[in-house]
Amino acid sequence: MKPIEYADAAPEVKAVYDDIKEKRGVPDVNNFWKFIAQHPPTLARTWDSIKDVMAPGALDPLVKELLYVAVSVTNNCGYCVASHTAAARRAGMTDEMFGELIAVVGMANETNRLAVGYRVPVDRAFE
């Protein structure tokens, strides 16, 4: 499989690329978009959903990017860790924040397994 570069893209793909570039203020889109563009409906739907989900709301954009990194690390997705770590830094993540983020993700993955291994039943208070 190969990335779809802007020059070679169909109009429907170009329109999504243009919107990404404008909304993010970047000169070109990342590989992620160029690869999923092989299936234009997936490109369009994913970009629409990302715009909705990552927009500022009750949670601010930095927190949302930190959450994205936490999931990507837990799933061991190399591309996603790299790209969302970069995005989180652009949104304001400092080295110290990154250190604490990974520490929490590591502990959560550890205690998740302790809970499973000891077969801990849910406390009545949490039901």
Residues numbered 70-109 forming contacts with its own copies, rule: CB under 8 A: 70-86, 94-109
DSSP assignment of 31-89, as one string?
HHHHHHTTSHHHHHHHHHHHHHHHSSSSS-HHHHHHHHHHHHHHTT-HHHHHHHHHHHH
**Is the CB of 18 or the CB of 109 nearer to its own copies?**
109
Does the protein bind its own copies through residue 117 (CB under 8 A)? yes
Fill in the amino acid letter for 34.
K
Fill in the amino acid letter for 47.
W
**Is the CB of 1 or the CB of 7 nearer to its own copies?**
1
Does the protein bind its own copies through residue 66 (CB under 8 A)? yes
Min separation Cβ 10 and its own copies, Å:
13
Does the protein bind its own copies through residue 12 (CB under 8 A)? no
Fill in the amino acid letter for 70.
A
Site string for its own copies, 25-64 (x = CB under 8 A): -----xxx--xx-xx-xx--xx--xx-xxx--xxx---xx
Dist CA 114 CA 98 (whole Å): 25
